[in-house]
Amino acid sequence: MSAATAQPGLLLFGRRAGSVLLALLLLVAGVWTSWQTAQHVMLSEEREQGTMSVARCAEETCTGPFVPAGRGAEPRDRVVIDKSIGERKGVKVPVAVKPGTDEVVRTGGPGFLHAWVPLGGALVLAGVVIGGGLRQPRTAWGVGLTGAALLVASFATL
């Protein structure tokens, strides 16, 4: 085998290996970023739970008082939640408090879906990489549509 015939094989292997690594990096980053919020939603029984009444919203966050739903939690005059499309002044949002902070995350189905939005975006991007770099259109469509469905479901429930 000459060097000229081995080079196309090496280029093909390099493209595929790079595409696999990029797709995996996107998915790991999506899971990692999502888990930072999702852990508080999915393990909410271990957190202070209650409702937050949205009093004021800035560009990126909303604030308001917290009323606990069970024992062991204390009412707070001001807690902070990331702003999403669902928060308006006066709305009561079921939340869980992040331990050791005054930050809260939305709980329930909408909170679960909203927490996994970064993974949805990563799935859409990984679908493009899988389709273009690995030349696997069926897998790419499956991965991309799964991510898009997650994003649409999150948008619809907020």
Number of domains in the chain: 2
Q: What is the mean pLDDT of residues 99-124?
A: 94
Q: Are residues 101 and 47 in the same domain?
A: yes
Contact 38, 116 (CB under 8 A): yes
The pLDDT, as a whole number, for residue 81 is 92
Instruction: Map tokens 């869980």 to a residue.
Output: 96
Give the whole-number percent of the chain exceeding pLDDT 70.
94
The values of phi and psi at residue 40, to 5°, are -75, -30
Q: Is residue 35 part of a domain?
A: no
Q: Are residues 100 and 125 in the same domain?
A: no
pLDDT digits (tens, 9 = 90+) for 19-75: 999 999 999 999 999 999 999 999 878 888 999 999 998 888 999 999 998 777 889
Which residue, 108, 127, 143, sits at the end of a domain?
Answer: 108
The pLDDT, as a whole number, for residue 1 is 54
Q: Are residues 84 and 124 in the same domain?
A: no
Q: Are residues 125 and 103 in the same domain?
A: no
Going by pLDDT thresholds of 50, 70 and 90, the confidence category of residue 4 is low
Q: Are residues 77 and 98 in the same domain?
A: yes
Q: Are residues 71 and 125 in the same domain?
A: no
Going by pLDDT thresholds of 50, 70 and 90, the confidence category of residue 150 is very high
Q: Are residues 140 and 83 in the same domain?
A: no
Q: Are residues 125 and 147 in the same domain?
A: yes
Which pTM does this prediction carry? 0.85
Q: Is residue 131 part of a domain?
A: yes
Give the whole-number percent of the chain exceeding pLDDT 90.
70
- Measured distance CA(114)–CA(17) in Å, rounded: 32
User: Does residue 112 carry a pLDDT above 80?
Assistant: yes
What CATH number corresponds to the domain at position 54? 2.40.50
Going by pLDDT thresholds of 50, 70 and 90, the confidence category of residue 3 is low
Q: What is the domain range of residue 73?
A: 42-108
Q: Are residues 102 and 155 in the same domain?
A: no
User: Does residue 145 carry a pLDDT above 90?
Assistant: yes
Residue 93's identity, in one-letter code, is: V
Which residue, 71, 91, 108, sits at the end of a domain?
Answer: 108
